[in-house]
Amino acid sequence: MAVILHLETTTHQCAVALSKNGELLANRCVRDNGYSHAEKLQSFIDEVFTESEINRENLTAVSVSGGPGSYTGLRIGVATAKGICHALEIPLISVDTLSVLALQAMEKQPGFDSYVSMIDARRMEVYACVFAEKLTQNSDIESIVVDDDRVFPWDESEKICFSGDGALKCAEVLSGKNRVFMEDWPTAEFAIALALDKFNKEIFEDVARYEPTYLKAFVAGKAKDPLGLRRHALNEKK
């Protein structure tokens, strides 16, 4: 029996699902303008266990969306998944986020030659990968700056569905015949089939050493100090 908890925190969307032998038992999902993962994730986990009337001790694995995506979101999701796996001594499964997006697009927009999953990486940059039918990966996972001056890994395809939270901002540059742009966010329930396949094949991660796919190094933003208190304190020390 495979009872798997699925965590999705790679974008502004925070999602949790619980499945048994590949069937969805309960799920929760919210998308805010900012990142509410730290506040929502644990309560969502509690809620799916309560709704499904399954005890945590019955879990057989935890699946986490392994990126690429938001550095902060990935850290929260992976840390939570590792904590549960360590406490219950169960396996950790990593699911590729761009594959989840491709599965969603294939269900919502069937019949395309290629599906390009795009996660927003700010400005005109996206994390992207090209998939064909049956989730065959036709390109490497890349951090791509979308402009008019480069050759893209999807250029040979005739009918393309671009999906993800980075798709719409690329529409003007990439628009053309038989090209559809669909704004979308990865959900935990579309990770169920991918996680179950890895569970059955015993493809697990090292709980202690696993790191998600960041693609880019973390860059800290400028500290916020609307009242000038931090600046005043630093001046006092001089």
Q: Tell me what pLDDT residue 39 has.
A: 85
Q: Do domains 3-96+186-200 and 98-182 have the same CATH topology?
A: yes
The 8-class DSSP code of residue 198 comes to H
Measured from the Cβ of residue 21, the count of other Cβ atoms closer than 10 Å reads: 12
Q: What is the dihedral of CA 38, 40, 42, 46, to 10 degrees?
A: 180
Q: What is the pTM (predicted TM-score) of this model? A: 0.86
Domain coordinates of the chain in residue numbers? 3-96+186-200, 98-182
Two structure tokens written together for 79:
């840390």
Q: Find all residues with CB under 8 Å of 73, minimum gap 6, and list them.
A: 9, 10, 11, 14, 35, 37
- CATH entry 3.30.420.40 includes domain 98-182: yes
Please give the angle made by the CA atoms of 70, 91 and 62, to the nearest 5 degrees.
45
CATH (one of 3.30.420.40, 3.40.50.2000, 3.40.1710.10, 3.50.50.60) for 3-96+186-200: 3.30.420.40
Two structure tokens written together for 116:
């390009």
Answer yes or no: are the C-beta atoms of 127 and 121 closer than 8 Å.
yes
Per residue of the chain (238 residues), give pLDDT as tens. Answer: 899 999 999 999 999 999 999 999 999 999 877 667 888 999 999 999 999 999 999 999 999 999 999 999 999 999 999 999 999 999 999 999 999 999 999 999 999 999 999 999 988 899 999 999 889 888 889 899 998 677 788 988 889 999 999 999 999 999 999 999 999 999 999 999 999 999 999 999 999 999 999 876 544 445 445 555 555 544 555 5
3-state helix, strand, coil in the chain (%, to 5): 35, 25, 40
CA–CA distances in Å: residue 73 to residues 39, 48, 106: 12, 20, 25
